[in-house]
Amino acid sequence: MRIIVRRTGDVAWRRIDRETVVIHLTRRRMFGLNETGGRLWEALAEPVGLEELTGAADPDPAVTAFLADLAAEGLVEIDGPLLGGSAEPPATDVPPPPRIEWREEVQRFAGHCAFFPGGSVLCDQHPFNS
């Protein structure tokens, strides 16, 4: 069975130095991915098979756990079950496993004033609303 992984449509993201920041626009949550997680995120530019994404028929359990975490947060959709790989510990010369480093609620988005004039004195002074 071919398992397809794809980003959901409600996300925006940006690489900042070695970290990738992903924002779930509907849920109003931000996530910081470590460098390894950011590389996997970038590989999801188009829907991709799990085997192609990981380069292995039996993916590393850390990768499947990361993808399951992304799916639980609504950042990706996965068509099929994620099966764990071998339980061997990673070698010391490999990069750290992919993971979400931090999570945070988003209070307001920068585009708020452009869409909701009259929401505050600051929005009313915004050039888009004058």
Residue of 91 and 28 predicted with greater confidence: 28
Read off the pTM: 0.71
Mean pLDDT of 57-61: 84
pLDDT at 49: 93
SS3 content of the chain, % helix, strand, coil (to 5): 30, 25, 45
pLDDT at 87: 42
As to burial, measured by CB atoms within 10 angstroms (0-12 exposed, 13-18 middle, 19+ buried), residue 129 is middle
